[in-house]
A = this chain, B = another copy of it.
Amino acid sequence: MKVGVYGLGRFGFFWSELLARKFDVSGYNRSSLAVKPSNVTLVEEDIILQSDVLFLCVSISSMEQVLKNITGRIKPGCIVFDTCSVKIYPINIMKSLLGEKVEIIGLHPMFGPDSGKDGVEDLPLVFIPVRNKLDAAEKWKKIFTDYGMRVIEITADLHDRDAAFTQGITHFIGRVLNELQLKESNISTMGYKSLLTIVEQTCNDPFQLFMDLQHYNPYTHDMRHKLNGSLKKTMAMLADADPVRDL
């Protein structure tokens, strides 16, 4: 079985190395790489599209263009997985742009190079069969389970609702705090150290991922609106209760 990873950015690089522990993995990236993922064979686009299983690891915002570009050249019978951090949007465009001859499964590994650096044991992987043979789904669920991942089958809508208020809010807080250029201090509390780690790790991810998470998940607008409301409420509460001391 030939496994291909299309896109070797921060996540694709990590994901291809993880898959290469168990499979013969090829990888394709549109631009050349300074460092290549271990045990992964770099190939041209036409070759990667001949894989039996293809993991798309491109940015959410480039999915439409990538799919339009590759749809006619993917090997018939190929199982195509996306790995986007939102699910409604990429699944809809995969359904509309990929022909009936390929199978489609939506995937969101809820981890990456930072959170998965010490292993993927017990980390959640959202798995959404879209248009596929039953045995393909069962086979791949078993593969991910064997890696130790916690495979979770939910709808794309439920994923996006939940992710907006979990992953989405974390990245949003991380980026907002990053603007403040917070620094380590010798009087840091444990809580503050955790906060700095969140800022660092969310900002390790590409800026495009942050933007796409906020734009392509239909529930993040509501999250940001509620967060803004909560900030205003807390500010107003503090102002009302201010003893207005001359400190």
Residues of chain A at the chain B interface (Cβ within 8 Å) = 61, 88-89, 108, 110-111, 114-115, 123-124, 126, 150, 152, 154, 159, 162-163, 165-167, 169-177, 179-180, 182-183, 185-192, 194-195, 197-198, 201-202, 211, 214-216, 218, 224, 226-228, 230-231, 233-235, 238, 241-243, 245, 247
A185 touches B211 (CB 8 A): no
Given contacts A124-B187, A187-B110, A198-B191, contact A180 B234 (CB under 8 A): no
B189 touches A111 (CB 8 A): yes
B230 touches A179 (CB 8 A): yes
Residue among A159, A185, A197, A218 facing the most chain B CB atoms (10 A cut-off): A185
CB distance from A153 to the nearest CB of B (A): 11
A176 touches B211 (CB 8 A): no
Interface CB pairs A-B, < 8 A, 21: A110-B187, A111-B190, A114-B190, A115-B191, A123-B190, A124-B186, A152-B186, A159-B187, A163-B187, A166-B189, A166-B192, A170-B189, A176-B234, A180-B230, A191-B201, A194-B194, A194-B198, A211-B241, A215-B241, A224-B235, A228-B231
Given contacts A215-B241, A215-B245, contact A180 B165 (CB under 8 A): yes
CB distance from A227 to the nearest CB of B (A): 7
- A241: chain B residues at CB < 8 Å are 211, 215
B211 touches A172 (CB 8 A): no
- A190: chain B residues at CB < 8 Å are 111, 114-115, 123
- A89: chain B residues at CB < 8 Å are 245, 247
A162 CA to B111 CA, complexed, in Å: 33
A231 touches B176 (CB 8 A): yes
Neighbour of A166 across the interface among B61, B124, B188, B198, CB < 8 A: B188
Given contacts A61-B243, A165-B180, A166-B192, contact A238 B216 (CB under 8 A): no
